[in-house]
Amino acid sequence: MKITFDQAFEDEVLAKVSPDIFWPNLEVIYKDTKNSGSPEEFAAIDFVRSKLDEYGVQSTIHRYQGFLSYPISGKVEVTSQNGRYIQAKTRAFSANTPPEGVEGEVVYIPGGKDMFTDKETMKTLEATDLRGKIVLTEGGGRQNMIFAQKKGAIGYIHMWPSEEDVIHEGIVTSIWGTPTPEKLSSLLTIPVLSIKNKDGMELIESLKKETVIVRMYSVTDTRWREQHLLEAVIPGKTDEFILVGGHIDSWHQGATDNVTGNTTCLELARVLKSVQPSLIRGVKICWWPGHSTGRYGGSTWYCDNNWLELHKNCIAYVNIDSPGPLGATDYSEVTAVAESRDLESSVIKKVIGVDPVCERPVRAGDQSFWGPGLTSMYMLLSNLPKEKRARVGGSGYGWWWHTEEDTIDKIGKNELVADIKIYLLSVLRMCSLPLIPLNIGKAAAELREFVAGYDRKGEGLFDLSAVYHALDQLDAAIRQFTAKREALPEGAETEPFNRALSAALRSLTTINYTYVGEFEHDPAVPATPLALLADTAKLPKMRGQDDIGFVLTKLVRNRNSVVYHIEKAANHLLAVL
């Protein structure tokens, strides 16, 4: 049985997307600032639920306590320059300063421009004496802040790497979701403030001439707050389902981050409910709280409290964040994992007529479901043309991201229609096709590339032959599985094959995207593919050092885990032959 698409049916479903229906919903969700745990956020959730009731979609509001941090105020006083003040904002989970602030000498650390992938700033931090100093840098990654604190810095000032005349809100904890007791020590104990690029450049120019002393002031409100998480359910014919989610809390009114995402989720619920008889697999749609001030606390809570069900029955997670910014017509950085790239590419080609460029997901943005092994689809989708982008992490790279300027005029109605249709068709195909349209062969090939890369860098100092052997076995299983599946006659029972494919992909996802394993959550720092084997690349520089034995011991254990999960994936496929 080949995977084929019913073009007429798809066109009929896509035509149901209606700006006349979704735009009034968007305007209601947009009207207030939605700090997580606030009455305004609860009101937005209640409104969405009322619309779900109207559309005949069953829903539940889960209530729980989340650990959140609200930024209250921040400022920088340049005490060495007659006490002039620089406009600044503190960050969620920044440490509070005493009322008199924290004073120190500024040291400039040239930083990486992308907070989600930057690994260069760390090298400069490591080579600099930071004891008693206040770091000034463009490097906004949490890993840099943590490392600066360990090196003795007493404060951290993040000057934005692009030149927009706004200060972006943000969060500085690397702990994914609510901390567990052993992770509490990872919370920062130094203040972290954000300033504009132009103010940072002025400080850098001053440093060329003189010692610069600043005093930092930071106030945050960090405590437990009640959270409401809305979940909608559209059952299919089987127990399997697709999870769709997007965060409902926002910085300020958050028109493009993430009111458009909330509206998209609601429109998907409406349209998919209308075609429910055609859904083989069901859909669960969630509006996550605790994204901005709880480091993805809502999606993490949902994962933790539904882990067994997700691991058993969920075949993919569609992550909806920042769709539809005005002018966002570039699809050259679409988030996709290896097994979903063909699907996402074909959907985008059908909806807007372009061939997208897909990129591996980064460790950010409610990607909370790699532990239970879910294939993740999207997060970033449409973006502004490259010449119009700022150095930001969402809103199509619009300069207004995470600021008071993320207002309704930044939304493009046509752009939002296109993105809604892309998400809708992706979910529709995943739920309505007899065979799940994911390519496990590409997932296995990607793992082989990573293994080969680490092997080359390791210069033969660690034996990866067992991993190659397991991958060979997996490739053979994939060939047999694919041949058997393609030989199925039309109308044949496909559920065993779908179950086997999903289980195999879950096993590969765990090793490809996590280091801490199935039940914990990796930190919100730049992630390394197939991280369990990444230390292989460090071995050549450790020749002759006693510490190499410790690393080799860890690699042996990690290799065992990798081989186990690859063999497990192969066995899932072979079990249905």
DSSP-assigned states of every residue in 54-76: HHT-EEEEEEEEEEEEEEEEEEE
What is the model's pLDDT at position 118?
A: 77
**With contact defined as beta carbons under 8 Å apart, do 349 and 404 qualify?**
no
Look at residue 334 in the predicted model and tell me its pLDDT.
Answer: 97
pLDDT of residue 114: 73
Query: With 0-12 CB in 10 A as exposed, 13-18 as middle and 19+ as buried, what is 342?
Result: middle
Whether 475 contacts 444, CB under 8 Å: yes
Measure the CA–CA gap between 293 and 35, rounded to whole angstroms: 8
Specify the pairing of strand 58-78 against strand 84-87: antiparallel
Confidence (pLDDT) at 526: 85
d(CA 76, CA 125): 22
Which stretch of DSSP H or E encloses residue 215? strand 213-234
If 0-12 CB within 10 Å is exposed, 13-18 middle and 19+ buried, where does residue 452 land?
middle
Cα distances (angstroms) measured from residue 175 to each of 71, 337, 442: 17, 23, 31
Q: Tell me the CA distances in angstroms from 440 to 368, 385, 476, 504, one per residue in order.
A: 21, 32, 12, 8
Instruction: Encode 454-467: b = buried (16+ Cβ within 10 Å), e = exposed.
Output: bbeebeebbebeeb
Q: What's the full length of the chain, in residues?
A: 577
pLDDT attached to residue 123 = 86
Tell me which residues of the chain have a pLDDT lower than 70.
113, 115-116
pLDDT of residue 410: 98
Q: In DSSP terms, which residues pair with 227 in a beta bridge?
A: 64
Structure tokens at 17: 């997307």
Of 556, 567, 553, 559, give the one whose Cα is nearest residue 530: 559
Phi and psi at 328, nearest 5°, equal: -85, 90
Looking at residue 380, what is its pLDDT?
A: 85
Per-residue confidence (pLDDT) for residue 217, from 0 to 100? 98
Q: Are 395 and 406 in contact (CB under 8 A)?
A: yes
In contact, 136 and 106? CB cutoff 8 Å: yes
DSSP H helices, 185-283, are 197-207, 260-274
Ordered domains of the chain (ranges, CATH) = 9-65+224-330+386-432 (3.40.630.10), 68-222 (3.50.30.30), 440-574 (1.20.930)
Number of H helices, E strands in the chain: 15, 14
Alpha-helical regions (H) of 364-464: 413-432, 440-458
**Among 219, 508, 490, CA closest to 370:** 508
Supply the pLDDT for residue 206: 96
Cα separations (Å) of 554 from 512, 513, 533, 540, 550?
17, 18, 9, 16, 6
- pLDDT on residue 112: 75
